[in-house]
Amino acid sequence: MKVIYCKECSDLFKLTREGLRTCKCGNVSGRYREDGKHAEVSQSAVSIKIPNGYIKRAVHRMEQLRHEEPKSLDKAYKAHSSIPAWVRPNFGPGNRHTHRLKKDANNRSKT
Ligand SMILES: [Zn+2]
């Protein structure tokens, strides 16, 4: 899953194919292309990757722990149901399927 973050307003959101998403302050935008594999993000976005399937598995592990050991504290959940995520460049070899959002994409979405 591709997630983008705005350094200005701290918004964090996933990209979708349904259309362009923009952070609260308007600084960062992004979307998946029709093929669902390639994406486009604005220059100022911070790209974050969460590998597919990890959130569902972590939710499952959290529910298991809550059921089996209901008095577990936060640190137990951190150890038991954490997810991997990493920050990577918006474009280039570190993020080969993401491309620069065309400048007029923001204008189109506002009309
Ligand atoms: Zn913002």
Residue 111 lies in a domain: no
pLDDT on residue 105: 63
Q: Which residues sit with Cβ closer than 5 angstroms to ligand 1, an ion?
A: 6, 8-9, 23, 25, 27
Residue 110 lies in a domain: no
User: Are 45 and 16 part of one and the same domain?
Assistant: yes
Q: Which two tokens stand for residue 86?
A: 């990493």
Amino acid identity for residue 13 in this structure: F
Distance CA 7, CA 44 (A): 8
Distance CA 81, CA 51 (A): 14
Is the per-residue pLDDT at 13 higher than 70? yes
User: Are 44 and 89 part of one and the same domain?
Assistant: yes
User: Are 24 and 71 part of one and the same domain?
Assistant: no
Quick one: pLDDT band at residue 89, thresholds 50, 70, 90? Answer: very high
- pTM confidence score: 0.85
User: Are 92 and 76 part of one and the same domain?
Assistant: no
If one counts the domains in the chain, the total is 2
* Centroid of ligand 1 to alpha carbon of 24 (angstroms): 5
Range of the domain at 77: 53-83
